[in-house]
Amino acid sequence: MIICATIAELKAELARRRGQSPNGLIGLVPTMGYLHEGHASLMRRAADDGAFTVVSVFVNPLQFGPNEDFERYPRDLERDAALAEKNGAALLFAPSVAEMYPAKPLTRVLISEVTTKLCGASRPGHFDGVGTVVSKLFNLVQPGRAYFGMKDAQQVAVIQQMVNDLNIPVEIVPCETVREPDGLAMSSRNVYLNAEQRVQALVLSRTLGDAGKLLTEPGMTASRLVAEATARIRTAPLAEIDYVELLTYPSLHPLDPDLPLAETDAQLILALAVKFGATRLIDNRLFQPTGGGRHVQNNDEIEASPSHSH
């Protein structure tokens, strides 16, 4: 596996190796590092597609607020490189902040509407930073496909909107949320949890699982489902709720709170953000009405809106 720390090295290697995958496909897995099995699954998906797989490791300061964890975000490039190579990455791009932003960037990619809910509401400017760095990575790597985990379903929706609106020639491939054996969604931030917080954080996956059953109850409404989910999370004494929201997906539009969900045709997302101590965790579940019943989806069943140019 090739490791590049500079943009010049990246461009040179890609120019030499662009034709090496059997189908000529370059796949990009953008990450902030401290890789885990969730990231590894994205790499394996790219390898299964026959892609020359590029993994970026970059903790992007533009997507952190002033009181967030940029400085303490976990970093271990040696560990990341070993995991990436083991899971089929052909090239690891690990630039410094100075390499990606040699001067204060005066240009930002701003995506509206889909960024104003959920994490966008509680983390102002976060998705401006995400859109800016992902567009930079797309321009540098010029992948045919880019792979994102559905644990951050809003990020997938935001990136897909950007790709559609700007006619960026990359296919966004949403991939299933990978979970620990006990159900906790894998996250680089899980390392911050102490033993008791780790146990109590399981309330998130349990709540999402319960939601799948609640959806089938006659007369279940959006407001009632959110209230039921909120009550379940509050059974964990250490849980500090940021949001519990039920929205359409991927548009992230609000629902009539009193409309029975059985009368809703849209694909829906139940999204959670909850802090345990100083650690903020997110999780979600998607579901789709099917006739008179309701089908709860694993996130790998979700197809984002297709890009206008693949």
Residue 187 known to bind ligand: yes
Catalytic machinery residues: 39
Residue 178 known to bind ligand: yes
Cα-Cα-Cα-Cα torsion 65, 62, 250, 268, nearest 10 degrees, comes to: -30
Residue 1 known to bind ligand: no
Written as six digits, the tokens of 29 are 């897995």
Its sign, for the CA torsion 243, 246, 248, 250, is positive
Residue 152 known to bind ligand: yes
Residue 200 known to bind ligand: no
Residue 243 known to bind ligand: no
For residues 167 and 308, the answer to whether their CB atoms sit within 8 Å is yes
Burial class (CB in 10 A: 0-12, 13-18, 19+), 310: exposed
Written as six digits, the tokens of 69 are 């964890």
Residue 36 known to bind ligand: yes
Residue 281 known to bind ligand: no
CA–CA distance, 160 with 113 (Å, rounded to integer): 13
CA–CA distance, 245 with 254 (Å, rounded to integer): 9
Q: What are phi and psi of 155, to 5 degrees?
A: -60, -40
Residue 55 known to bind ligand: no
Written as six digits, the tokens of 94 are 């690990």
Residue 100 known to bind ligand: no
Whose tokens are 């950007």? That residue is 162
CA–CA distance, 150 with 55 (Å, rounded to integer): 17
Residue 155 known to bind ligand: yes
- Between helix 7-17 and helix 126-141 the angle, nearest 10°, is 50
Residue 38 known to bind ligand: yes
Candidates 188, 174, 212; CA nearest to 282 is: 188
Residue 63 known to bind ligand: yes
Residues in the annotated binding site: 32-39, 63, 149-152, 155, 178, 186-189
User: Binding site for (R)-pantoate: which residues?
Assistant: 63, 155
Binding-site annotation: residue ranges for beta-alanine? 63
